Structure 1
Amino acid sequence: MANLNAPPTPPPATLPPELWLTILPLIPYTPTQFSALRLISHHHNDLLTLHEKSLASHLKTQAFDPLTLQLFPGISISSYTHLATLHTRLQTLQDLKAKWSAITTAAGGTANTNTNRELAWLEGRYEAVFTAGTLLLYRLQDTTSAGIAAGTHHIHSNSAEGTVLCPHCAKLSLIASLPASSLACLLFVLVAAVKILRVHGPDPINARWCKEDLEIRSEVELACEEVLLGRGPGVFMGLLVLGEEGGWALSVLQAEIAGMGDRQQTFASGQSKPATLISALRAALSEKTGCGKGQVVGRMWEILSGTKFDRLGEEGEMMGRLVRGEEVGGGGKRMGF
């Protein structure tokens, strides 16, 4: 029987804010659960709003280990939005890992599963390379330059810190700065994603669409690569699932295809438009490996076949170095390359 003489439990609002700021970071973090804390009371909502920056910093260290944070160098984690973004990205990577076996073995869109071996080469070591490339796509997505809206094209502004690039040119600058090993991973994820979507994706990226017209197919796949570089892995996942969740991704791809002709024109001012991201990627890999632009895919395979990539899936530090754009040395070449 309850002790009727026991003092009543104090309501949450009477606890000092310092105590709540100690308790809240210890609660297991998910964006949904954390948002629910706002609904407890006006006191909680005000506390979470007032101390967002410090709480986000504490939650970052409680919810994510340092190695995981190194995989996303473009996110500073100074807000609840940043925390939610990081959580969503990790969930996407987990979903992709869970789907990987079906992606590489199942016959996309048919009842006869586990018979299509077109994607079998993605099993094993290249799953980790795909993950590294996906993380680099996220880094590109984060490279939008502060102060310039994400939808702005080729507008530069001057500030106390110097010239601020538009998001597209900021991505071009990042691509140009990456070493050959990172560029190879980035190109690989594009090549592999297109081949996966040729099997599992919708029209017009699916191989069944306009399969006799190689020129049109090439344009569609080029547009898909550009969209992935510009908009990130969410487009790839959206094209995989489609339905209500992925319809937006198909719209983004269709818009990119429709705008390919416009990319060849100059701005109304007569100023030339900047290079596409995919052409910049190929040019950067060509320059840093000393091969012709038409040979970059072969050079990509030469780099990724090296023995230093054998343990990429087991070495989080190496993954982090690739994403941060640090040259990864060591290892040796395999016969045939």
Structure 2
Amino acid sequence: MKFLVTGAAGFIGFHTAMRLCRLGHEVLGIDNLNDYYSVDLKLARLARLQDAPGFSFRKLDIADRDAMRALFDEQRFERVIHLAAQAGVRYSLDNPHVYADSNLSGFVNVLEGCRQTNVGHLAYASSSSVYGTNAKVPFAVEDAVDNPISLYAATKRANELMAHTYAHLYRLPTTGLRFFTVYGPWGRPDMAPFKFTKAILEGQPIDIYNGGEMSRDFTYIDDVVEGIVRIQDCPPPYANEPEELRRGATDRLFNIGLGSPVRLLDFVACIESATGVEAIKQMKPMQPGDVLQTWADVGALASRTGFRPATPLHEGVARFVDWYRTFYGV
């Protein structure tokens, strides 16, 4: 099929586009190549993608309404995987307008493009951050998500509501994917796995927030991509299935996480084991916008697709460290 992958130079977008090409699909990737983190890393990902059969790329900002409309009119995609967004919880504290432009206006442009050209299925990135300070664990897609504690989280929840509205009004099949702390080769430099590995190998201290009494459901990139790809074959039912339609089933949400939270200090220990270097730890207080834990209930994903993420943390961290050493020559 013919796919649009937004954010194709990003971490998850790169891996997703590569996997789709290997499966024989035609993939057009777009990305604005902003400098939120290293543009050189994004260009290196794209260089790998350019060799993938069936892949093409355009530099394009999803917030550019006219350019997005022209793209959809010209290409007539069968499927859209929307992974472009302004990421980062802490960055949103000081740069709110960037999130409004990309995560809100940009998402409307994607929705409109899909609606106007009758795209068969829109899958889009949400985030575990929508669960906010929910006390019930593990987090399930049926749980209330009305207490986000960062602007980033609020924009991701807004995306889910916007997609639901388009599904209801226009019968656009949409699937939101709540990702849980994705890590692995080619990962983002602003995330803990990358930052910790870099600092540990350079003999620099790492910041441990809340005394290390935090836990995250770290999810290996291959498991995330497998979930994304399997979801493509499971579009929500729409007008031809009236019973599902009455129950609001024109859109769906799934968690994609390992389902096994890890304490921050235990995660650091995995990196220490993989690098052979002991970390220099600096204890810091809890940061605004952070949550104490994330933990995915992936029962809905397993039930719908037959897939459940399973890469053990120590294996995933070892693969990431191997990639980091090779890519940066350390």
For Structure 1 versus Structure 2, the TM-score category normalised by the shorter chain is under 0.3
Higher alpha-carbon Rg: 1
**What TM-score results when the alignment is normalised by the length of structure 1?**
0.22
Greater strand proportion: 2
